[in-house]
Every structure is written in structure tokens, then in C-alpha cells.
């Protein structure tokens, strides 16, 4: 992944007889921002595509904590990458100015998102043509 706005991160997950424990802390090598919002999507069936937007400023870490989700990222300049999330100790850092879609590959997968900002509708670009215009600025 040569794009600095996209990178896979892995958090330490010690495994014992009781199972694994995965910890995430803000402003760490794994999360390079203050976490202002945490949310998750669940109850989504296989084949459903969510997202279809970009953010002007928001940074995110996407973590599939259960199941399998394929994330497609598009920088608006012809570079499109697909990343499969299926390891709860891994997360995908997505910087601003990236068009993203998430397709549920397995029923009932759970996507946890750590976000650098509180919700702000003005930060969203929800139309792909508007996104391409924004990127050209």
C-alpha cells in the first residue's frame, strides 16, 4: 500500500487460555489521532455495501471485529485499492480525501470505527463527482 493515507495497523493481542485481548489507545503508533468518536455497524447481511462517501478532514481506523468485510478505497486519481478485513487485531487506517465503500462478505460481520472527529455532516462528500472535483482543488 504505497499511499500514505492508507495503511494496515496491527495491535498487540496476547493470547492465553482465556482467549485474546486487543487494546487500542489514542495517540499511539497504532492510532495517530485523538479518538473523538467510536461506532460500529452490525446486523448487516452478506453483499450489502455501505459507505459510498469520503471525508474532507476525518481520519479513521476500520476494524472488522467479527466476520469479513472488503473495503474499497479510491483516491479520485485512478488509484483504487481493495483490502479485506477479517482479523480483529488488525485495523485499516484511512486518511481524509479517500472515497470508501465497505462490502459485507459474511453475514453479521461487525465493523468498528475509531474516528478523529465528532460527527459533522459538512465533512462528508456523498457524491462521487463532487469528490473528484474536491480532489482536483
Using CA atoms of 14, 18, 19, 21 in order, give the dihedral in degrees to the nearest 10. -50
Select which of 7, 37, 50, 53 is catalytic. 53
- Is 118 noted as a catalytic residue in this protein? no
- Catalytic residue ranges: 53
Amino acid at each position: 500500500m504505497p499511499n500514505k493515507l492508507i495503511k494496515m495497523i496491527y495491535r498487540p493481542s496476547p493470547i492465553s487460555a482465556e482467549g485474546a485481548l486487543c487494546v487500542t489507545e489514542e495517540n499511539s503508533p497504532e492510532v495517530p489521532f485523538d479518538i473523538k468518536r467510536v461506532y460500529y455497524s452490525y446486523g448487516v447481511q452478506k453483499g450489502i455495501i455501505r459507505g459510498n462517501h469520503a471525508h474532507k478532514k476525518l481520519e479513521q481506523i476500520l476494524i472488522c471485529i467479527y466476520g469479513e468485510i472488503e473495503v474499497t478505497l479510491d483516491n479520485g486519481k485512478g488509484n483504487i485499492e481493495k483490502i479485506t478485513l477479517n482479523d480483529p487485531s488488525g485495523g485499516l487506517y484511512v486518511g481524509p480525501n479517500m472515497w470508501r465503500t465497505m462490502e459485507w462478505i459474511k453475514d453479521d460481520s461487525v465493523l468498528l470505527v475509531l474516528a478523529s472527529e465528532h460527527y459533522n455532516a459538512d465533512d462528508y462528500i456523498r457524491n462521487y463527482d463532487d469528490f473528484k472535483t474536491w480532489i482536483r482543488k
